[in-house]
Amino acid sequence: MTSRFDFQIAATDGAARTGTITMQRGTIRTPAFMPVGTAATVKAMKPADVRAGGADIILGNTYHLMLRPTAERIDRLGGLHKFMGWDRPILTDSGGYQVMSLSELTKRSEEGVVFKSHLDGSRHLMSPERSMEIQRLLGSDIVMAFDELVPTDTTRDIQAKAMERSMRWAKRSREGFDSGEAHAARAALFGIQQGALDEGLRKTSADALIDIGFDGYAIGGLAVGEGQEAMFGVLDYAPGQLPADKPRYLMGVGKPDDIVGAVERGVDMFDCVMPTRSGRTGQAFTREGPINIRNARFAEDTGPLDPECRCPACQGWSRAYIHHLVRAGEILGAMLMTEHNLFFYQALMADLRDAIAGGALKTFANDFRARYIREKQQ
Amino acid sequence: MTSRFDFQIAATDGAARTGTITMQRGTIRTPAFMPVGTAATVKAMKPADVRAGGADIILGNTYHLMLRPTAERIDRLGGLHKFMGWDRPILTDSGGYQVMSLSELTKRSEEGVVFKSHLDGSRHLMSPERSMEIQRLLGSDIVMAFDELVPTDTTRDIQAKAMERSMRWAKRSREGFDSGEAHAARAALFGIQQGALDEGLRKTSADALIDIGFDGYAIGGLAVGEGQEAMFGVLDYAPGQLPADKPRYLMGVGKPDDIVGAVERGVDMFDCVMPTRSGRTGQAFTREGPINIRNARFAEDTGPLDPECRCPACQGWSRAYIHHLVRAGEILGAMLMTEHNLFFYQALMADLRDAIAGGALKTFANDFRARYIREKQQ
């Protein structure tokens, strides 16, 4: 029988590592990018095409799924994998971020959070125990602890209190996860480090999580508007505060150059809506930076979205055609843009893994940055 | 070299026929259903999946394409086939129907029609000559003559005048088409019979078209709200007024039972937005009639959209999942519904062809009607 959760580092290069996570539903090559499948679908993509792009694992959103179609319904229908037709690993977030950013909070206490659904205004309780229950009902492979978020521009005292509560909730998450024995026997649980931009708080948080013990460790509370410089500032020390023999997951990151810099600093896993969401609005990633395909300069451009890309969209259709589709609001435009962007991200991860394995990450990263213009060219 | 346009009837059964149209870009099995690719895309589908569903030919809309991205741009980009990635035959309509139904007409005369774009209010002239030019620029394989439409509930005098003008325009269409020699050497031109619900006008129109001479003959002016009974009333005589050795095309039809009845009456080709458009709004076709997948009764239905369907959507996903996707407004919902509906239509056409070839059309059609409930079940 395949192990429940086994992380093997095949090679390191500076702080960066490449390896594999082996789970019952499949192997995850790291550094890994997880496409976001919010509402039981990676938007505008069939699962087979997500896989063909190179994804070993996708992310599902607890908050969205608990509200529609509900975790209980997904459980009755055989779990999230069967429901959406993806048989490889799924990581589910805890719901905490969306509860606090998308819904109207009506109560926040040590017990948990009461919130109103953004869909119909109905009231729901979210707590560490409930989050574990929902992720179990979904049939998640990698379950995230439920934590409390505060903005990075609040006071150190507020950040410290939120971090401390998050650590108490991490322990309750561990207990809640372990109580679901059949699920715990095959799934993994990740803790989430908090502490905003404060190295001391980050260290306290890391130690508390290590004391509880998790299969992997996420770096939370970043990519919330603090900017790349501040984020990299935290990533200069945060990964080193976490166990070297466990995967490190930077939640909600990011742009391609964010990922390159985070991998250089020792991060193993990423998720972000960037390739899917921005694809639907007309932003295509290329080796030279993102382009806005709606721009008039692409109206008669017969080249592919990215001349160096080998994705199906770039093999089959021109910038001119996709420009037309996106301008006309055609669904196929969203499909082709998403397919390309996901493929671009996965190709970047493959390049990063190869560079680390070959001891050439610094050269690769510098070459990447020399060409890549972060901001969208109009 | 493959022939320009060769229609061979392999078998007949009553008034119905099955055969093939051979053109340079491919063979069309008849009776044929042509998915509608309005704006250079069959909405929510990749061309390879349209083909995998069984389509031999698709339809492009002259009106939409002339406005965006314009026929001239498509010509500069190498033609519609290359632009959208479909290398088999494309039939283009004349633009007449959309000019008169979607745009604001500013002038209607013997010369043609001046109209305002529904996109930006810009003014355009449409005439038989301009329609032929646009369809040539698009690189159409089957070009439709430009005609004038009037509602079926107008007076016989109005209908007669519109039909007579359409026959003059048919002659100008023939001349315009023939003047594009390189295109005319590989493409086909169809005339369109008019005459509303009047057998005498239909006969006059048919004779005028035959006198001009076309590769195929469309039955126009139906499926515009007159109802199935009135439409079948015309189809009881109209196909017989047209040459037996040329394809007959019923424009804009229709629901599955409309198609069955029209095939029984001798029609060879169809197009309709029904499978694509209704798929995007939640209507799925089944052997027992259409269902509204948004209905709460499908929320935990683990069966496929249609238990007898072999399409990819029915092989991979449940009604419960697609119900969730469509309710959540997910693009994948539109993709799976469209794929299923197009597959359903093409499977029906294949069944009709087989039934005609086997001399069993009447049995097939009666069995179909005995099960199929035309109106959507809520």
Q: How far apart are CA B317 and CA A147, in angstroms?
A: 34
* Binding site residue list of B for substrate: 93-97, 147, 194, 221
| Single-letter amino acid, residue B119 | L
Beta strand residue intervals within chain B, DSSP E: 6-13, 16-23, 26-30, 32-35, 58-60, 90-92, 104-108, 113-116, 123-126, 142-144, 188-193, 216-219, 248-250, 269-272, 283-284, 291-292
Active-site hit among B215, B268, B271, B306: B271
Note whether B89 and B79 are within 8 A (CB).
no
Q: What angle do CA A323, A324, A325 make, to 5 degrees?
A: 95
pTM over 0.90: yes
Backbone angles phi, psi at B158, to 5 degrees: -65, -45
Note whether A80 and A140 are within 8 A (CB).
yes
Q: Strand A283-284 relative to strand A269-272: parallel, antiparallel, unpaired?
A: unpaired
- CB neighbours of residue A106 within 10 Å: 11
- CB neighbours of residue B273 within 10 Å: 16
Active-site hit among B49, B93, B268, B306: B93
What is the dihedral angle through the alpha carbons of A195, A199, A201, A207, rounded to the nearest 10 degrees? Answer: 100
- In this complex, the residue of B44, B73, B280 whose CB is nearest that of residue A300 is B73
| Residue that has been written with the tokens 């007949």 in this structure | B12
What tokens does A52 get?
Answer: 């063909």
- In this complex, the residue of A39, A76, A328 whose CB is nearest that of residue B300 is A76
Backbone angles phi, psi at A377, to 5 degrees: -85, 130
Beta strand residue intervals within A31-134, DSSP E: 32-35, 58-60, 90-92, 104-108, 113-116, 123-126
- The three-state secondary structure class of A105 is strand
Mean pLDDT (chain A, rounded): 96
A chain contacts of residue B302, beta-carbon cutoff 8 Å: 77-78
Tell me if B299 and A69 make a contact (CB, 8 A cut-off). yes
- How close does chain A come to B207, measured CA to CA in Å? 41
A271 is an active site residue: yes
Tell me if B332 and A46 make a contact (CB, 8 A cut-off). yes
Q: How far apart are CA B351 and CA A180, in angstroms?
A: 52
Provide the residue count of chain B: 378
- CB neighbours of residue A331 within 10 Å: 20
Domain at A6-271, CATH from 3.30.460.10, 3.20.20.105, 1.20.20.10, 3.40.630.30? 3.20.20.105
- The three-state secondary structure class of A120 is coil
Query: What is the 8-class DSSP label of residue B296?
Result: G
User: A195-225: buried (b, 16+ CB within 10 Å) or exposed (e) per residue?
Assistant: bbbbeebbbbbbebbbebebbbbbbbbbbbe
The secondary structure element, H or E, covering residue A343 is: helix A331-357
- In this complex, the residue of A43, A302, A316 whose CB is nearest that of residue B330 is A43
Q: What is the DSSP string of B332-372?
A: HHHHHHHHHHHHHHHHHHHHHHHHHHTT-HHHHHHHHHHH-
Backbone angles phi, psi at A292, to 5 degrees: -95, 105
In tens, the pLDDT along A113-137 reads 999 998 999 999 999 999 999 999 9
| Residue that has been written with the tokens 């935290």 in this structure | A234
Interface of B with A (CB under 8 A): 39-41, 43-46, 68-69, 73, 76-78, 83-85, 280, 299-300, 302, 316-318, 320-321, 324-325, 327-328, 330-332, 334-335
Q: What's the pLDDT score for residue B152?
A: 82
- How close does chain B come to A147, measured CA to CA in Å? 27
Instruction: Give strand pairing partners of A191.
Output: A217
Backbone angles phi, psi at B332, to 5 degrees: -60, -30
Whether A189 has a pLDDT exceeding 90, the answer reads: yes
At A1, is the pLDDT very low, low, confident or very high (cuts 50, 70, 90)?
Answer: low
Nearest-CA residue of chain A relative to B303? A77
Q: What's the pLDDT score for residue B1?
A: 59
- Cis bond before residue B151 (omega within 30° of 0): no
Provide the residue count of chain A: 378
Nearest-CA residue of chain B relative to A302? B77
Tell me if B69 and A316 make a contact (CB, 8 A cut-off). no
Sequence-distant (6+) residues with CB within 8 A of B307 are: B286
A chain contacts of residue B327, beta-carbon cutoff 8 Å: 68
Note whether A308 and A70 are within 8 A (CB).
no
What is the dihedral angle through the alpha carbons of B116, B122, B123, B125, rounded to the nearest 10 degrees? Answer: -90
Of the candidates A209, A259, A202, the one whose C-alpha atom is nearest the C-alpha of residue A232 is A259
Query: What is the 8-class DSSP label of residue A77?
Result: T
Mean pLDDT, residues A291-295 taken together: 98
A56 is an active site residue: no
A chain contacts of residue B69, beta-carbon cutoff 8 Å: 299, 320, 324
Sequence-distant (6+) residues with CB within 8 A of A217 are: A190, A191, A192, A193, A206, A209, A242, A243, A246, A247, A248, A249
Q: Strand B16-23 relative to strand B6-13: parallel, antiparallel, unpaired?
A: antiparallel
Sequence-distant (6+) residues with CB within 8 A of A182 are: none
Tell me if A39 and B324 make a contact (CB, 8 A cut-off). yes
Interface of A with B (CB under 8 A): 39-41, 43-46, 68-69, 73, 76-78, 83-85, 280, 299-300, 302, 316-318, 320-321, 324-325, 327-328, 330-332, 334-335
Tell me if A299 and B43 make a contact (CB, 8 A cut-off). no
User: Each residue's pLDDT tens digit in chain B (378 positions)?
Assistant: 578 999 999 999 999 999 999 999 999 999 999 999 999 999 999 999 999 999 999 999 999 999 999 999 999 999 999 999 999 999 999 999 898 888 888 889 999 999 999 899 999 999 999 999 999 999 999 999 999 988 888 999 999 999 999 999 999 999 999 999 999 999 999 999 999 999 999 999 999 999 999 999 999 999 999 999 999 999 999 999 999 999 999 999 999 999 999 999 999 999 999 999 999 999 999 999 999 999 999 999 999 999 999 999 999 999 999 999 999 999 999 999 999 999 999 999 999 999 999 999 999 999 999 999 988 655
Whether A377 has a pLDDT exceeding 60, the answer reads: no
Q: What's the pLDDT score for residue A100?
A: 85
Tell me if B85 and A316 make a contact (CB, 8 A cut-off). yes
Q: How far apart are CA B98 and CA B358, in angstroms?
A: 39
Asked casually if ipTM beats, i.e. exceeds, 0.95, the reply is yes
- CB neighbours of residue A369 within 10 Å: 14
* Binding site residue list of A: 93-97, 147, 194, 221, 309, 311, 314, 340
- The three-state secondary structure class of B40 is coil
B chain contacts of residue A39, beta-carbon cutoff 8 Å: 324-325, 328, 330
Backbone angles phi, psi at B287, to 5 degrees: -60, -20
Mean pLDDT, residues A157-165 taken together: 96
What tokens does A268 get?
Answer: 């193993």
Q: What's the pLDDT score for residue A358?
A: 98
Pick from A70, A331, A336 the residue to mutate for testing the B interface (most B CBs within 10 Å). Answer: A331
Tell me if B40 and A321 make a contact (CB, 8 A cut-off). yes
Of the candidates B147, B36, B54, the one whose C-alpha atom is nearest the C-alpha of residue B92 is B36
Nearest-CA residue of chain B relative to A276? B331
Note whether A193 and A209 are within 8 A (CB).
yes
CA atoms B350, B352, B353, B359: torsion sign: positive
Domain range list for chain B: 6-271, 279-371
- In this complex, the residue of B41, B300, B331 whose CB is nearest that of residue A44 is B331
**Helix B256-264 and helix B331-357: axis angle, to 10°?**
20
Nearest-CA residue of chain A relative to B83? A321
Backbone angles phi, psi at A145, to 5 degrees: -60, 150
A chain contacts of residue B43, beta-carbon cutoff 8 Å: 330-332
Q: Strand B26-30 relative to strand B142-144: parallel, antiparallel, unpaired?
A: unpaired
Backbone angles phi, psi at A233, to 5 degrees: -55, -45
